[in-house]
Amino acid sequence: MRKGPARSRKITGAKAAAAHAVVANAACTFADFDDRPLHRCVENALNAYFDALDGENTCGLFDLVMAEVERPMLDCVMRYVGGNQSRAAGVLGLSRGTLRKKLSQYGLLDD
Q: What is the pLDDT of residue 11?
A: 45
Residue 16: partners with Cβ closer than 8 Å, 6 or more residues away: none
Q: What is the CATH number of the domain that holds 87?
A: 1.10.10.60
Residue-number span of the structural domain to which 88 is assigned: 59-111
Mean pLDDT across 83-108: 96
The reported pLDDT for the residue numbered 39 is: 84
pLDDT per residue as tens digits for the range 50-78 = 999 988 998 999 998 998 899 999 999 99
CA angle 15–36–103, rounded 5-degree value: 75
User: What are the C-alpha distances in Å from 57 to residues 61, 66, 85, 93?
Assistant: 11, 19, 39, 35
Do 86 and 63 share a domain, yes or no? yes
Q: What is the mean pLDDT of residues 29-58?
A: 80
Query: Of 64, 88, 57, nearest to 74 (Cα)?
Result: 88
Q: Average pLDDT for residues 15-39, to the nearest whole number?
A: 53
Alpha-carbon separation of residue 93 from 41, 61, 98 (angstroms): 23, 24, 10
In this structure, the answer to whether residues 92 and 49 fall within a common structural domain is no
Tally of domains within the chain = 2
pLDDT band at 33 (very low <50, low <70, confident <90, very high): low
